[in-house]
Structure 1
Amino acid sequence: MQIKFRCPTRIFLGPNCVMENSMEMSALGKKALIVTGANSAKASGALQDMISALEQEGIAYSIFDEIEQNPSIKNVFEGGQAAKEFEAEFIIGIGGGSPLDASKAIAILAVNDITPEQLMAKQWSIEPLPIVAVPTTAGTGSEVTPYAILTIDWAETKQSIAADSLFPIVAYLDGKYTLSLPWSITANTAVDALTHSIEGFINNKADSLTDLLALESIAIIGKLLRSIVPQQISLTEREELLYASMLGGIVIAHTGTGIIHALGYQLTYFNNLPHGLANGVVTKAVLEFLEQASPIKVKQVVDALGCNNLDEVGALLIRVLPGVSISLTEEEQKKYVTKTLQAKNIANCPKPPKEEDLYKILLSSKLC
């Protein structure tokens, strides 16, 4: 048995955890840049709670609320400039995966004068500013990972920056911040969290500890997806989804993702599908492929989800996700397959896919 495990983020999960643990931010500095999107942090109440907490601790703040969905290089450089002008001493990301990931890139750019190419190549000399993360969706787990996922137009896909210094120092998880989410976002982000745990479980880098966390996450999400009633989701169910999402984040912080994400990125970039939905569309077909090399682990995933077979897994995903009407041309299929094969994370798969495998996954997912 070999285990290498690290989770440097100090996690606070529960009602009013921001205000009750605001002193954790006092050690990080006296000036904070809050990084968020235009609406979610305000609508959820997380922004106002954070402002109250900062005022309670005597910490000055400025707000950069211009983060795009699927943030671009240009977007994070604008945030980095805002951090420099404010002379921020730490960064607070509030929102879904986009603001949290962007906050990590901004933490780098706040103290480094580098080009976009140097950012993506991890060529910076000064350590990023400390990061505080407050998720308002239960999906990405970015609050406990060292990854920042950005949209890279020159590569026509999404790519990640990874460094231990990008782990948030503190994460505040309060289920009430997800109460304002519509069902579509709740479902998409829950499926994103599910795919994190599935890919981290069926993974060359998995170990007994990450497997334990992954199966716990899969079981929680499976139970909720089978029983949850759209538009009537309780705070308890929201809290459970947030907890499961965090577990999935801890898992992929150690293992990375796999084919689902590598292929899903293409559907997000070129077809504008929300990230979780893009992942969910191909999940059943990818599991069918992975079953060839890891039948026992695929069976454990099916069992943890409370299903009897992969057809039931597919039916469960169809139940919670909106329908997708995409018919990829031969040229698009070729492009998606080529770009997926270039993705680093497919090396994590017990059986790395070949071209014909990816074409079959696209076909089985009814995308062509």
Structure 2
Amino acid sequence: MIRAKLVVTKQGVPLWMDYLASPVLVMTSNTSFSAVGCEDGSLHVYSPAGRRLLPAIVLESTPVLLQSLHQWLVCMTSTGLLYSWDIYNLICCIEGVSVAPVLQQVVELEKEVACIRDIRIQEDGLPIIITAAHQAFVYHTNMKTWLRAHDSCVKESLLNRHLRLSKENFTHTQLTEPSVHVLRYGWVFWFMHRSPGEKITDYEGAMKKIATFKTVEEFWAVYSHLRRPSDLPNISDYHLFKQGVRPVWEDDVNINGGKWIVRVKKGLASRYWESLVLAIIGDQFDVDDEICGAVLSIRGSEDIISVWNKTSSNGKINLKIRDTIKRHLNLPAETTMEYKTHNDALRDKSSFRNTDVFR
């Protein structure tokens, strides 16, 4: 019996379709493959042209989370087991590892429940689990256990602290340097605030550099101690930009680009900003080096999130960036988004007026 019809489209044009015997609950895709997870515990993997790359993967229970990056497919099931596969080479990286130890370690905060907020895939296929308490966990395949890479309650990465052992204490053991999870690019957090009525003549000079990070551990050490967007004063801006790129229109990398703009209701910025930051530093946009950075602007009646890219004339790339923003922020399909080139911003000296509207 057919229980689901799967249709893949591009800009509204159907590319291919398939019929499945069980309702689809989760799905993921990238430029290499697409995958869907069904209610009956099966996974189906397709090529970009719609050809099934392998027979259905049969799991022990219903898939509840599905993520992909390059050749890697990561799945978590309703019984709390985590899998990671190399679809190209048909290799299992993580086989049914329980996430129960991670949930047991979640700090019990007021109005918080023990839950997984997000899962990010590293270049080697190993996932990083991020909890609602802003803790990050990685699975050590040789030790067969979870390691807490960062705890939001301390400034220093606990992973680094516990692995940074003295050779004098281990005279018969050869120690190696602790492994870190290096990001594809280095990134810099900036902050700017102005009082109501204050005019800033030197925009770049008014920005304060907060910190630079190049690894997952360094990111969490910085991010967990930043003030949440909901706690920032009015007319404040967070900037996250690649190391070496100035967060201004005139920068050589930015000058021929533009930005996608999302206006959000008050109270939603913290959740959206965190999801966007994780997607950007985790290289989830899959557009090579096109992403320059992102800005969160806290204003009186609304908050504004913008993603900067370096080539405003590339329509295909721009639409892909727009769709990736919608997907990672879980924005409704009817959400209005705006785009503005930096050259236009320079001409009218405005970031958010006279934009091109996309519905």
Larger radius of gyration: 2
Q: Which structure features the higher share of helix residues?
A: 1
Task: Check whether TM > 0.5.
Answer: no
Q: Which structure features the higher share of strand residues?
A: 2
TM-score, normalisation: structure 1: 0.27
Q: Which has the higher contact order (CA 8 A, sep 6+)?
A: 1
TM-score, normalisation: structure 2: 0.27
